[in-house]
Structure 1
Amino acid sequence: MDAFDAIPDPVVIDILNKVRDVKTLIRCRSVSKRFNSLATESDSLLLQLDQIGESDSEIDSPITSFLRSLFKSIHGFFSRPAEPNQIIPRTPVQILAGFDRIRNLEVELHGGDVKLQKGAAVKWKAEFGESLKSCVIVAFRSATVNDPSAIDGDDAETVSEFVSGLKTRVVWTISALIAASTRHYQMRDLVKEHREMKRLTVRDGDGEGTVVMDAAGMKEYRETEARGDEKGSRERTVVPSVRMSMRHAPSLKLKSGIRLEAATLVVVRPSGVASDSGDDAELATGAFGDCMYGEAVTALLKRRRNLLEMNSF
């Protein structure tokens, strides 16, 4: 008997959980009958996608065409080319068919959705249940290494500069919210299919945005779907009326020696959810960790807060 056959199933499953990558686990299923059964017992998975497929029944529309342009075709899930009659899974649900014990799933997409001018960057993290619960957005127009010999100037803005900058910040915010609501909607079938899942995280490979759903959020979403609430025909989750807590700095010098131009921090919550500066700080500082964006959050939280309301869209 092969020595590997003597390893107990729980130990093999624990090893496969460390692998996590769905592409590798699918290939493992071809090794033997034992691997075929044990690979699907993994409860912590990473699914890397270049594209999220749509069903053949969907009718093309400008929005659908736009969504399709966000992702490239899924490739590389199998070690050899598909046979002419072989059907390659196109949606996350089809790819994860047979994986019935998923508790923690991370979905990594090919790239970001928010298209900005050259040099600009945006990073966001959104939490969802049935709808948006919160979103933290950090963005800037450009980043440069600060010259230690340079004299810091006054970063006060004129009224016209403030108005022009406000328009840009609102565009950044709306773009991030649309990207987040699109990803949330595209994961709807996964949430409904895998009822034992406790946490779902959707992010892109370049680290632009992250959507998070915890166990309570997914339960809320499933209950809403079970009631058959009217959703209408759309390709993303509707963003509810929200209250935005916005802070910005025309020029922001970080302790790391980086200077950010037009740095912006936006904390978004549904209207009617009470919040103060302390709530903003707790939510924002926990969104990005200790990276440059986290440092920018800490600095921007010291700036004056502007409150804005936005209707559902």
Structure 2
Amino acid sequence: MDAFDAIPNHVVIDILNKVADVKTLIRCRSVSKRFNSLAAQSDSLLLQLDQILGAAEPEPEVNSPVASFFRSIFKSILPIFSRSAKPAETPKSPAQILAGFNRIRNLDVELYGGDANLEKGAAVKWKAEFGETLKSSVIVAFRSATVNASATESPVNAVETDSEFVCGLKTRVVWTINALMAASTRHHLMGDLVKEHKEMERLTVRDRDEEGTVVMSAAGMKEYREAEARVDEKGLGVERVRDRTEVPNVRMSMRHAPMLKLKSGICLEAATLVVVRPSGVSSDDNDAELATEAFAADCMYGEAVTALLKRRRNVLEMNSF
């Protein structure tokens, strides 16, 4: 007997859970019948969609006259060969990729890149929690960051005038909308996966640039499945098809500093903190808890959150979109 055969199944599964990467585990399933069975039982997975789907940057076209001539010839003869060629494979959805895994508990999905198109130097970082729809979101943004030890910050307890708050408000609202649209798009992308894998306890969807993160707990995923089941019973599934989840009416708790100097010496221009909840939430008392938890692991953003929480809070309402 091979020595590996003597290792108990639960030990092998624990090893495979340390591997986590879905692409590697799919290859492991091709090794043997035992590997095929045990790899499918891995419960902690990392799904990197760009690796699985083979995303790649398109090569730039050369616009010289010679290149254009040969390109036109190629396009004219392409239909002749395409009749006998096999059709290109359709990119698989996350649910299709993970169809062979039947005991997923914790899933971390990494997307190819960020979502927001921002002005040069600007940065928006966010975290959103979903159930059937948005439960809460925390957004930190700034226009630019510089290192300037001599820069001064407005006193934390200084009263911000209405004109100071209104200045640049449109930009801050656009940042917030971009973040909410990106979050709702990611939530929609995971819909089929959440419905099919009822054993999941936590789902995290982030991008390689660490721009934004969507999280769903076991309770949130259960809420989503129940809502979708009600919709299916009414036969409204086709009417609900869209490329993102609808964002409900929300209440935005916004704090802003025209110039925020951090202890590290980094100065953030137009630093903004927004805590978003669905309208109807009676209290904003846990702003600090939500914001601090969302960016606890990030030194610069965590420090910015701590400083911005001391600023004046402005409350805005936004309709569903």
- Which TM class, normalised by the smaller chain length? 0.7 to 0.9
Instruction: Work out whether 1:15 is the aligned partner of 2:15.
Output: yes
Q: Which ranges of structure 2 fall in alignment gaps of 5 or more residues?
A: 58-84
Instruction: Work out whether 1:26 is the aligned partner of 2:29.
Output: no
Give the Cα separation in 2 of the matches to 1:162 and 1:242. Answer: 20
Confirm or deny: 8 A CA contact 1:28 1:39 kept in the other structure: yes
AA aligned to 1:245 is S
Identity over the aligned pairs, expressed in percent? 77
Following superposition of structure 1 onto structure 2, how do residues 1-313 of structure 1 map, counting pairs within 5 Å?
Answer: 1-50=1-50, 72=55, 90-147=92-149, 149-150=150-151, 162-228=165-231, 230=236, 232-276=240-284, 278-290=285-297, 291-313=299-321
Give the Cα separation in 2 of the matches to 1:268 and 1:225. Answer: 24
Confirm or deny: 8 A CA contact 1:52 1:91 kept in the other structure: no
Give the Cα separation in 2 of the matches to 1:51 and 1:190. Answer: 18
Using the TM superposition, give the Cα deviation of residue 51 of structure 1 relative to its aligned residue in structure 2, in angstroms: 8.9
Q: Higher mean Cα deviation, 120-129 or 153-162?
A: 153-162
SS state at 1:192 partner: helix
Q: 1:52 and 1:136, CA in 2 relative to 1: closer, same or farther beyond 3 A?
A: farther
Confirm or deny: 8 A CA contact 2:159 2:312 kept in the other structure: no
Using the TM superposition, give the Cα deviation of residue 93 of structure 1 relative to its aligned residue in structure 2, in angstroms: 1.2
Give the Cα separation in 1 of the matches to 2:159 and 2:286. Answer: 27
Following superposition, which runs of at least 4 residues in structure 1 exceed 2 angstroms of deviation? 50-53, 71-74, 83-89, 149-164, 229-233
Using the TM superposition, give the Cα deviation of residue 142 of structure 1 relative to its aligned residue in structure 2, in angstroms: 0.5
Using the TM superposition, give the Cα deviation of residue 145 of structure 1 relative to its aligned residue in structure 2, in angstroms: 1.1
TM-score (norm 1): 0.85
Give the Cα separation in 1 of the matches to 2:5 and 2:116. Answer: 49
Q: 1:238 and 1:166, CA in 2 relative to 1: closer, same or farther beyond 3 A?
A: same
Using the TM superposition, give the Cα deviation of residue 165 of structure 1 relative to its aligned residue in structure 2, in angstroms: 1.0
SS state at 1:117 partner: coil
RMSD between aligned residues: 2.5
Give 2:63's aligned residue.
none
SS state at 2:50 partner: coil
Confirm or deny: 8 A CA contact 1:157 1:250 kept in the other structure: no
Confirm or deny: 8 A CA contact 2:250 2:277 kept in the other structure: yes
Confirm or deny: 8 A CA contact 2:23 2:51 kept in the other structure: no
Give 1:65's aligned residue.
none
AA aligned to 1:302 is K
Q: Which ranges of structure 1 fall in alignment gaps of 5 or more residues?
A: 54-70, 75-82
Confirm or deny: 8 A CA contact 1:243 1:308 kept in the other structure: yes
SS state at 1:50 partner: helix
Using the TM superposition, give the Cα deviation of residue 2 of structure 1 relative to its aligned residue in structure 2, in angstroms: 1.8
Confirm or deny: 8 A CA contact 1:51 1:73 kept in the other structure: no
Q: 1:27 and 1:233, CA in 2 relative to 1: closer, same or farther beyond 3 A?
A: closer
Q: 1:24 and 1:45, CA in 2 relative to 1: closer, same or farther beyond 3 A?
A: same
Aligned residues: 286
SS state at 2:125 partner: strand
TM-score (norm 2): 0.83
Using the TM superposition, give the Cα deviation of residue 256 of structure 1 relative to its aligned residue in structure 2, in angstroms: 1.6
Q: 1:175 and 1:287, CA in 2 relative to 1: closer, same or farther beyond 3 A?
A: same
Using the TM superposition, give the Cα deviation of residue 171 of structure 1 relative to its aligned residue in structure 2, in angstroms: 0.3
Confirm or deny: 8 A CA contact 1:156 1:250 kept in the other structure: no
Confirm or deny: 8 A CA contact 2:49 2:110 kept in the other structure: yes
AA aligned to 1:190 is L
Give the Cα separation in 2 of the matches to 1:45 and 1:203. Answer: 14
Give the Cα separation in 1 of the matches to 2:302 and 2:184. Answer: 23
